[in-house]
Amino acid sequence: MLIQLVLSSIAIGAIYALVAMGFTLLWQASRTVNFAQGDFITVSAVLMFILVCAGVPFAWALLTTVAISGVLLGYVVKTGIIQPLIRRSQTTLIVATIALSFLASNAVATFWTAQCKAFPPVFGMTPYRVGSVALSRQHVWTIVIAIALILAVNLFIQRTKPGKAMQAVAQNREAAKVLGINISRVTTMVFIMNAVLVAFAAILIAPVYMVRFDMGAQLGLKAFYSAAIGGFNQIRGALLGGFLVGIIETFTSAYLSTEYREMFVLIILIAVILIRKEGLLGTEER
């Protein structure tokens, strides 16, 4: 029982970490706090669901979903909404993402369906057996894929030229500009990366949650908490926060109260920002 709980808390934590990492990437590149992150998950999950139900083979459905998400939620959102607002106040940018969130979830409810749909299991139903312990395939593969993605993103940022440009923009926009980095292009790249990460998170979470127009709201909020608890301006902060929130949530709902699991995470968040306002691993910002 304990082992299963630990496994499922790490699995859900891995998904939060994935989405929270997207948050911190967006924050670092463009000072955007994306309140529509959860709805990006919904849109990707719905896309995947439609494709799979239309009989598209799984691999093709996955590729198409990731591609459409990258274009629509990455490129189009960045050039259409974020780019015109980036020079205005941060409040304006946040208001825009809030409106986008409301638009996305209600558009799904209006033009697709307001009902919830069960997503077919992706990794099969029979659990792995290690000795006498049964491990859910879904959980094991979620952890493996999420960690692989996290490693890939980190390798990309540390080893490749565009990744280094991202780091430069995150550390000092002005200096990066002086050095000839095209900030707008780097930001677009980060938005597309975020959309791809979110699409993967959506596909990993869809078989666990139901596919529904508001499925992303709680997920987005939890990922947001993760980023804030771990530290908004550090990728490792987001990762720590994600796993922490997953663990807190799973164990409080198993042993304390299922109804109020949201509350425990909120309390921890408030405690963290009271004690260390940058988050556990965050660094001071101007």
- Residues near another protein (CB under 8 A) are 33, 35, 81, 84-85, 89-92, 94-96, 98-103, 105-107, 109-110, 114, 214, 217-218, 221, 224-225, 228, 232, 259-260, 262-263, 265-266, 269-270, 273-274, 277, 285
Rounded to whole angstroms, the Cα distance separating 193 from 34 reads 14
- In angstroms, what is the minimal distance from the CB of 19 to another protein? 14
Residue 255 identity: Y
Instruction: Return the number of the residue (142 or 250) whose C-beta is nearest another protein.
Output: 250
- In angstroms, what is the minimal distance from the CB of 112 to another protein? 11
Instruction: Return the number of the residue (127 or 214) whose C-beta is nearest another protein.
Output: 214
Three-class SS state of 231: coil
CB 32 within 8 A of CB 97: yes
Instruction: Return the number of the residue (67 or 107) whose C-beta is nearest another protein.
Output: 107
Contacts of 226 (CB under 8 A, 6+ apart): 16, 17, 19, 20, 238, 241, 242, 244, 245
Phi, psi of 133 (to 5 degrees): -95, 130
Contacts of 214 (CB under 8 A, 6+ apart): 42, 105, 109
Instruction: Return the number of the residue (33 or 211) whose C-beta is nearest another protein.
Output: 33
- In angstroms, what is the minimal distance from the CB of 263 to another protein? 5
- In angstroms, what is the minimal distance from the CB of 110 to another protein? 5
- In angstroms, what is the minimal distance from the CB of 162 to another protein? 27
